Structure 1
């Protein structure tokens, strides 16, 4: 198997909030709909089962007017600490690991999106680098109660 670092987009973001406050924005479907996706995208959540094995169905609405249906499965959720989500797709299979680390009065969000192969990851790498930074900024805005760019 190819090394994980060759097929992973890894980002970090420090958010001035507790891990519980950040986790609350990750587990609430109304809040997830406000921050999930890069700038210019909005989300409609059709089903959101936040427990191990639970599935999420959502549609990302792109700024180009296209809709992008998505399915996710929650692999793990450790309150205020860790969320692992599987995106079971033939084209873009990945596992997203979101780790929350309390650092004083802030939370370090460690975001790792690991694809099944380098071949699937490489064509998306530059898009993901920018998109995941935007998603983390939108998560931070949600935690702080500020409207995000696509709200």
Structure 2
């Protein structure tokens, strides 16, 4: 029997819970720009931030390839319980419009559920809306309640994450290989990184997964801002993921990523940052982080054009 849900996947009155088949619907309205919502929904670095339904669950990502035909594999770990494996395969990706993926959940080698997940997004530069439909099949019917609770909590986390996420984009008139090599080259990255008038002073730099960049940003007035980037993922010519620390081995203030996409012979660069707290996000916006970040991408384009 397929239940007929209302908001957040709750069956309507009279429907039977715990059936083998169920259709669940989840809705969220958020005061964030549509590009931010899309990035938080699809970018692996952002998904890693919000995917755990509650603090007792640790989600470990084993694979993450967000493109049609790609898949995402993660383990959900709860102390004292067997790990739960979740495999997600991307079937459709229409940027800032829709994604469709299958999801298979297993434990101890046995499949516990399979689902088709459709996410429709819409919005403006001020607000956005996410509607997720889950068509669920569970051999024993035991997974329906868990899906309702897990997706509802996860999407609450997503909304909170989106509220402290900054997304910057620029189309650079150069092939993707050139843009990538200008970014992921220890000789060239310090030459253009930072807003207009800023310079970099590098202590050490290793642009590999597991590597780091320890450096100072020096403002036009001579003010020094210590920085430390730790690189978690490097997929050549596709994306990088890294954490931003306040100075060498200092506290983390953001999870960040950069992606690179072909666009009619040019390259669309997306730079995303999930700040550790909403207060840090608001402070960054207050001192002009969006404008300064766009200046940084502008410097990258000018650097490439000058070579």
The verdict on how the C-alpha distance between 1:45 and 1:79 changes in structure 2, with shifts beyond 3 A counting, is same
Q: Alignment partner for residue 209 of structure 2, among 47, 52, 63?
A: 52
Alignment deviations for residues 26-59 of structure 1 (CA, whole Å, 9 cap, x no partner): 1112211111111110001221111111111111
Quote the residue 2:279 is aligned against.
119
- Decide which structure has the larger Cα Rg and report it: 2
- The structural deviation recorded for 1:92 is 6.0
Secondary structure of the 2:280 match is helix
Q: Alignment partner for residue 185 of structure 2, among 28, 48, 56?
A: 28
Q: How many residues align?
A: 146
Secondary structure of the 1:50 match is coil
Secondary structure of the 1:3 match is helix
Instruction: Name the stretch that deviates more: 60-69 or 137-146.
Output: 137-146
- Is this contact kept in 2: 1:91–1:120, CA < 8 A? no
Quote the residue 2:254 is aligned against.
94
TM-score (norm: length of structure 2): 0.45
What is the correspondence of 1:62-141 to structure 2 with a 5 Å cutoff?
62-89=219-246, 93-126=253-286, 127-141=288-302
Quote the residue 2:40 is aligned against.
none
Stretches of structure 1 that go unaligned for 5 or more consecutive residues are 147-151
- Is this contact kept in 2: 1:77–1:84, CA < 8 A? yes
CA–CA distance in structure 2, aligned partners of residues 108 and 88 of structure 1: 26
Instruction: Name the stretch that deviates more: 8-17 or 137-146.
Output: 137-146
Quote the residue 1:9 is aligned against.
166
CA–CA distance in structure 2, aligned partners of residues 76 and 91 of structure 1: 20
CA–CA distance in structure 2, aligned partners of residues 82 and 40 of structure 1: 27
- The structural deviation recorded for 1:3 is 2.0
Quote the residue 1:149 is aligned against.
none
TM-score (norm: length of structure 1): 0.89
Alignment deviations for residues 35-87 of structure 1 (CA, whole Å, 9 cap, x no partner): 11111100012211111111111111111211112111011111111011211
- The structural deviation recorded for 1:88 is 2.6
Secondary structure of the 2:188 match is helix
Secondary structure of the 1:141 match is helix
Please identify which structure carries the higher helix content: 1
- The structural deviation recorded for 1:91 is 6.2
